[in-house]
Structure 1
Amino acid sequence: MTKTEEIVTSLLKAHEEKKQLSSLDTEGYSTEEALYEVQDEFIQRWSGDEADPVKGYKISLTNKGLQKVFHTDAPVYGTLTDQTVLKDGVLSKREFFDPLVEAELMFIIREDIPPSANSAEILENSLIAPGFEIPDCRIADWFPKISIGELIADNAVTGKVVVGEPIKVTPAIPLDNLSVKVYHDGEEVAEGPSAYVLDNPLNAVVWLKEMLASQGKSLKKGMTISSGTFFSPFPLEVGKYRAAFDHFGEVEFEVVN
């Protein structure tokens, strides 16, 4: 068994047994490209016989402060599947390992986006929805202690994303100057600006497009892109969550035991 197979097997076992790992041994993976190959192998094995399991991507570490915490100077991405993309509903906290809460804009890709596309073309070919991301990790006591290698290998700590109602966006909407407020059981618990996301969430999607192109991948019609949190994440608790975004309306979900 190769080292990649060992890492993927341990992650699959953690999912199956709902038991966190103490760590992942990513020593020897000298490039991010090699770590993303681990992530790809995990997604393929986790999804079984599904021909094309990739339903989108989530972008992490889109803030300089969070990058500093994880000792990197760039974002990373995780892969979304049918198991991770939700429209709404009730979630059980028992589904997760050690979940956090983030509020993000979700880009819904309307047409295939070529590697040469600029930001205006990406915007033209996208809808945008209000959303939540629930990062989660298979490694115990992970935030903010795991290595960047562990982060990427564990699918960039993908848990779930909750996607609200998308709308068509025009350049007149100031994506670099929006805000969100998050409520838990009616009490405001977080707020933040869109500038927290690489100065503009659209910049994060441009970064993703370029990163994927370097790996022979691309943004395809129907994909959901979780573009990055408006604030530092906080622990998920039982109760009702609601996020209210400028221009994009609200999205909500509930967590039960």
Structure 2
Amino acid sequence: MLEQNTIDALAQELRYARENRKQVSHFSKRYPEMTIEDGYEIQRAWVRLELAAGRTIKGRKIGLTSRAMQQASQITEPDFAPLMDDMFFKQGDIAINQFIKPRVEVELAFVLKQSLKGPNTTLEDVLAATDYVVPAIEIIDARIEQFDSVTQAPRKVFDTISDFAANAGIVMGDVQIKPDAVDLRWIGALLLKNNVVEETGLAAGVLNHPAVGVAWLANKIAPYGEQLNAGDVVLAGSFTRPTTAEVGDEFVVDYGSLGIISFRFV
């Protein structure tokens, strides 16, 4: 376990990196003894800095929910991070200079009407506690270098967890779906960048049902005395690969009968 002063210093690095849009080197390279729990401790320290600066937590995101991404990261379970209030963006133009190297993923967001507290939360509990599900786009970013500037080695999952699980933004659609109105597993979407289909996917790619990840999260945070609260927005995990973005790129996610989400980086 890293020393608390080290954890606090690394959290400060991340906050500075986000504010100044300048990436930092891999924590796991500097501290080879670093563990997943260290990653979450750094993340929590960064959250405390954001709260002290006046930010609020509006929900959570779950990442690494697909089998392929878990294998690539050499882990056996998802990761998670908070959704801060300044990470919510409306459709339309979004200033790209708020990010460093943004990428885009397709997800479903669960908006809760009741709290969920582990350790025994089930998929059925999640559906009962959900007010509605809404199509969404997650904007991910890397305050820690994705590839080491010297060795080109990819960052480790410990780095990603520290870095808010790569979370940077969310854009929500307009169509609200009651959780029992459709089979959520079969919700599909097309991700277009500049009128070209880059990715397609089904929500079943998220642990075979997107609500499974929400149940996992409620159970995972329970030992820390935390829970998912009524009103929280929970991003359940991507069912497409991340798509790179540059200034001028226009993204459209077509959910068929569930509507379209669109925005442009300016």
Could you tell me the TM-score, scaled by structure 1's length? 0.90
Q: Which has the higher helix share?
A: 2
The partner residue of 1:242 within 211, 232, 252 is 252
1:55-134 equivalent positions in 2, closer than 5 A: 55-115=58-118, 116-126=120-130, 127-134=132-139
Name the residue aligned to 1:10. 13
Alignment partners' CA distance in 2, 1:232 and 1:219: 26
CA contact (8 A) 1:91 1:254 kept: yes
Partner residue, 1:207: 216
Give the unaligned 5+ runs of structure 1. none
Gaps of 5+ in 2: none
| 1:140 aligns with one of 140, 145, 148 | 145
Distance 1:169 1:2 in 2: 46
Distance 1:112 1:20, change over 3 A: same
CA distance in 1, matches of 2:138, 2:124: 25
Change (3 A) 1:166 1:56: farther
Is it true that 1:221 corresponds to 2:230 in the alignment?
yes
1:53-95 deviation per Cα after TM superposition (whole angstroms, max 9, x unaligned): 2211111100111111111111000111111122433212221
The aligned residue for residue 190 of structure 1 is: 199
The AA in structure 2 aligned to 1:125 is A
Q: How much does 1:125 deviate?
A: 2.1
Find runs of 4+ consecutive structure 1 residues off by over 4 angstroms: none
TM-score (ref. length: structure 2)? 0.88
Superposed CA RMSD: 2.1
1:42 offset after TM fit, Å? 0.1
CA distance in 2, matches of 1:226, 1:170: 14
2:75 maps to amino acid: T
SS in 1 for 2:86: coil
Query: 1:70, 1:117 → 2: CA distance?
Result: 26
